[in-house]
Amino acid sequence: MAHPYLFWLAGAVLLVGAGVLTALLPHRRAREEQRRTARSAARAAIDSAAVSRDAARGRVPEAERLLTRAESLVGGRGGADAARAAAGHARQADRLWRQHR
């Protein structure tokens, strides 16, 4: 060993590194999972809304606008919040189309 102090320094760096890693990694993983879940939910809602649109009589511009917004939100690289907003828009569009049957 070059110098006894290096030993302690290396140990301290390892400790801090491990601590940061164990704090950061699960956090990032949870966020990633949330994002994917929200996108999955949003996509499901958009697909449902698309089905409702095809089944609706006539056009509902309000619903179409909402669905377009939802699709652009999901298409972008947004996070969980954007995906949740997209899901909200899609559900609302879905509701509008169902009312126009």
Q: Which is nearer to another protein, 54 or 75 (CB)?
A: 54
Question: Which residues in 42-61 contact another protein (CB under 8 A)?
Answer: 43-44, 47-48, 50-52, 54-55
CB-based contact 75:81 (threshold 8 Å): no
Residue 62 found at the interface with another protein (CB under 8 A): no
CB-based contact 50:4 (threshold 8 Å): no
Q: How far is the CB of 55 from another protein (least distance, A)?
A: 4
Q: 5 to each of 9, 10, 11, 16, 49, how far by Cα in Å?
A: 6, 9, 10, 17, 65
Residue 75 found at the interface with another protein (CB under 8 A): no
The site that binds another protein (CB under 8 A) totals a number of residues, namely 28
